[in-house]
Amino acid sequence: MALLQISEPGQSAAPHQHRLAIGIDLGTTNSLVATVRSGVADVLPDASGARSLASVVAFKADGTADVGEAATVESSAYLPIRSAKRLMGKGADDLEGHWLAEHHRFDRSGSVPAFETAAGPKTAVAVSAEILAALKARAEHTLGGDLVGAVITVPAYFDDAQRQATKDAAALAGLNVLRLLNEPTAAAVAYGLDQGEALGAGSVVAIYDLGGGTFDISLLRLNAGVFEVLATAGHTALGGDDIDHALVAWLLEKSGLRAFPDDAARAEAVAQARQIKERLSAATSVDVDFVVNGESVWQGEFAREAFDALVSPLAERTLGLCRRVLRDAGVERDEVASVVMVGGSTRVPLVREQVSRFFDQDVLTDINPDEVVAIGAAIQADALAGNRPEDDLLLLDVTPLSLGLETMGGLAEKVIPRNTTIPVARAQEFTTYKDGQTAMALHVVQGEREMVSDCRSLARFELAGFPARVAGALRIQVLFQVDADGLLTVSAIERESGTVASVDVKPSYGLSDGEIESMLRDSMDLAAEDMQARALAEQRVEASRVLEAITAALDSDGDEHLSADERAAIDASVIAVQGALASDDRDAINAAVQALEKGSEAFVERRMNASVRRLMAGRDLDELESRNN
């Protein structure tokens, strides 16, 4: 008799079968794919043994593409596409002044810029999809089966648009995204699982991530399998590329050359600088033969001390961000139990020395800093695929910038403050501003400033069709929900009628690390001015409320309850408030409003008495007694 294979609904018929899942570090310069095999996470090499894949793509006229080292050979009129990650989630306007625009031709006809290639226009999403597809193919070939999904890492400062663009690229590559994971959090997963017991419950860990083009510093608290990001900060144009360019400038000065003859010579010089940097990570001095267009233009010894002098300003800038993230998290340096080094640029000895001195402890470099992010992603993917049912690992990332709504007066009301742990849902109640209002326009914004004009607009939507009531009578609840991937949904409900509206925030372009850094810096540098501007705006809103109420009352029955002289006095006070509103003088606005309110007291009292009389009109004592009985 044949036996039937029985399984629970939604569960595998082979419950003990290992599900194939991968972790992908989608990098600006290089990308990696890793997986867990026999309980150990490791990076998967290609057929030649190379563990990383250059994030370079070259499209051919037949629509196919070369990825990695094969794409670095310039075989057409179009340059191979590098650093496409920098344009993920960006708009055409973001190309202005961007270095990529100097090296590539772009189709800017749409809202999203596209690289011009032999196969036609290709967006950064399409380029990233080719890289992800190559990593997927490598994993499937190595593991010998289909994948259930992948965890893909993104920089901590990627916003909604950039995260969504990453998901879109994965979909184009045929990958099921189990989760997007912040790169610092992935590094914490790699180290936290391996060394969590040694660190102790409640320990604070610093993730220092200095890559080829960006820098991130995050503080995480590790406790009973929970990885909570306390605070994070970062900066663009801080990384190994900056070291390379500083070294190129030094070599140019030594050689006596004022400039490079062409782009090819500059690219060759950058490659030489990178080799010198890597050699000095292990040696105290190196002999240099600086070659430009095949000709040796300078020969000499380059000592570690001279190299350190070039690196020191960059390292000091990263330490400034370390100071800020400690302040944001309310953590003292001596509370940091461990410092994890991530990114190839942390191999530079001076960087390790300065970070070690700053935190007054040895830094962790047990796991290859180039691979630690991919390994952490693989561990998380293994858990999400269901291969570790006993694992109760929980990851809690944070929002990099505050999310909120525009309120009257152009004010930004923060609903979810920056550095709030995600996933998160926060609700706040608002009300109507005018009598008879039956709709409300909601404007979702992102940023730290007090005025909407200084924040970034994310989305607009309208809640319409609720009942007309006097101003302030209705209660409208607005709910902000940020999921585990950092994507935002905003919904609004009017409680009396049950009217509902919502929007998924998927803006057409994103913010760079530098723009976010600038927004945070401005919020601190301009805090005093912002609070004064907010106070002035709030004063104007309140004055406008009073002015509108008095004006409506005067138009309704002002002549009935006021003499000509009394009406003239109130009209003069109204004009005074209107004049004060045109100024930036809070005291003048406040004084004018108080004068209007005081001058209108008798009018308000007469209207109230008249209203009571109208309610009582035509009813005798017997009628009132019968109604009460």
Catalytic residue ranges: 25, 85, 183, 209
Cα–Cα dist 629/625, whole Å: 6
Q: What is the dihedral of CA 170, 172, 175, 180, to 10 degrees?
A: 20
Find the angle CA(389)-CA(395)-CA(397) to the nearest 5 degrees. Answer: 160
Largest CA distance in the chain: 116
Q: If residue 142 lies in a helix (H) or strand (E), which one and from where to where? A: helix 124-143
Helices (H), 257-407: 263-280, 304-329, 349-359, 372-384
CA atoms in the 13 A half-sphere facing the CB of 241: 13
Which residues make beta-bridge pairs with 627?
none
How far lies 393's CA from each of 147, 171, 447, 452, 462, in Å? 22, 26, 31, 38, 39
Among candidates 411, 420, 403, 429, which has minimal Cα distance to 489?
Answer: 403
Whether the CB-CB separation of 123 and 165 falls below 8 Å is answered with: no
Residue pointed to by tokens 């404007």: 443
Residue pointed to by tokens 């004064």: 532
Cα–Cα dist 193/186, whole Å: 11
Cα–Cα dist 227/397, whole Å: 8
Cα–Cα dist 427/409, whole Å: 21
Residue pointed to by tokens 């309310």: 330
Residue pointed to by tokens 């184009």: 172
Question: Phi/psi zone of residue 83: left (φ > 0), alpha (ψ -120 to 50 degrees), beta?
Answer: left
Helices (H), 158-262: 160-172, 183-199, 240-255
What b-and-e string marks burial along 217-256, b requiring 16 or more CB atoms within 10 Å of the CB? bbbbbbbeebbbbbbbbbbbbbbbbbbbbbbbebbbeebe
